[in-house]
Amino acid sequence: MGSVLWFFAPITEPPYVGTPLDLGRTMSVEITIGFEQIELPAQDVGGWPWSQEDEHQLWWTQLPDCNEIQRRIDGQPGSPPAPANDCGPEGEVAISVVINGLSPAQRDLLVRLQPDGPAEELRFSYAIQSKGAGLQSCSAFIKRQIVLAGDDHPYENGHRGYLRLTPFGALLRERLIKERRNG
């Protein structure tokens, strides 16, 4: 009996959706058995159907560096973060700067994170609702400490596994949701 090698790769010919770093909606499957290669038809794996404009905004809009703002919101080591409604004028301005620095697609992605499971300390577990949610945006959120990936879900797989919102990320998400409600 020969060995069977499964190789999964995103479609690289039009019409494809996503980028080489993001599986997107469609995926082709090649099966190699011995020297014979069989390519199965492309399948829709159910991601977000990106438009070109959204894709550009999601991948290439830089986020401001939030580390200093995170420290100010968290306060000194060992102290709880400032409540969402009591940030003071400087905190309000800082949060507005960060939110205005997000592209519309990144805002949508942050708002789409849905609660999953109980709270653990100050961080909350969130599962990404769409399988095709942007890998690079998730990586950017992680880099800016808006979200953290669990140890068992490295950020390369963050769009399929779980992310943890930091207190700062939860604050941003709450503000975005309030803005949408108020209209």
Q: How many CB atoms lie within 10 A of CB 60?
A: 9
Q: How far apart are CA 173 and CA 111, in angstroms?
A: 6
DSSP string, the chain: ---EEEEEEE--SSS--S-TTS--SEEEEEEEETTEEEEEEEEE-------HHHHHHHHHPPPPP-HHHHHHHH-STTSPPPPTT--HHHHHHHHHHHHHHS-HHHHHHHHH-EE-S--BTTBEEEE-S-TT--HHHHHHHHHTTSEEE-TTS-GGGTTTSEEEE-HHHHHHHHHHHHHHHH-
Tens of pLDDT along the chain (183 residues)?
A: 333 333 344 444 443 344 444 444 444 445 555 555 555 554 444 444 445 555 444 444 444 455 655 565 565 554 444 444 555 666 677 778 788 878 787 888 777 765 544 444 334 444 444 444 455 566 667 777 777 765 544 444 444 445 667 777 878 888 899 988 987
Strand order in the sheet with 114-115: 114-115, 124-127, 162-165, 147-149
Residue with tokens 């700062």: 168
Q: Would you list the domain boundaries of the chain? A: 4-44, 52-182
Specify whether the backbone of 164 is left (phi greater than 0), alpha (psi in -120 to 50) or beta: beta
Find residue 28's DSSP bridge partners: 9
